[in-house]
Amino acid sequence: MSSGPVPASSRLAFRLPKTSDASFYNKLMNEPDYHRFIADRGIRSDEDAVAFIENKTLAQFAEHKVGLWLVELTETGAPVGACGLVIRDDLDAPDLGYAFLEEARGKGYAREAAGAVLDFVREEMDLPMICAITHTENERSASLLLKLGFTARGQRYLAAYDDTSDYFEYEFDRNRT
């Protein structure tokens, strides 16, 4: 599967995940903050991660042409997180999503990656708005979204999670060149 254009930034490279990235996904998706603030996806082995990559992540790209890209350090090629857009039935616009390894946090990678995705949407997609959701207790993520220019719009109940999330919107200025 060809990924076409992808976001870009100075320190980070974006690409489609491969099944050979399973151990990275297994590690990322089993970090305590991932379980607490995103979800426990039931990934307990590299084999589970391969199935997730094939049946969820790559399937999202195949169906919607967007999804969560694997994010690597350009300097070393080491994977540090995932960032991109997720299409959710409960939301009216694509959802900016991101997750980074604990050891990669506090270095500005999430902000840089999310900013690169915003630039990508502005340049490559004809969308007036995207949204983002966060766990109601995830203050760091909410703060990042506000710094990026998102506006807090209350909370939304998401049936897929059977939970309420804080809800944010980012509107693109189509008159900007």
Task: Write phi, then psi, for 99 (nearest 5 degrees).
Answer: -155, 135
**CATH superfamily of domain region 12-126:** Gcn5-related N-acetyltransferase (GNAT) (3.40.630.30)
The pLDDT score that the predictor gives to residue 76 is 96
The pLDDT score that the predictor gives to residue 84 is 97
The pLDDT score that the predictor gives to residue 124 is 93
Show the CA angle centred on residue 106, arms to residues 70 and 121, nearest 5°.
Answer: 45
Q: What is the pTM of this model?
A: 0.93
The pLDDT score that the predictor gives to residue 126 is 86
Q: Is 5 exposed, middle or buried (0-12, 13-18, 19+ CB in 10 A)?
A: exposed
The pLDDT score that the predictor gives to residue 3 is 58
Residues 6+ apart with CB under 8 A from 108: none
Block means of pLDDT (10 residues each) for the chain, 177 residues, are 79 97 98 95 97 96 95 97 95 96 96 97 94 96 97 94 94 69
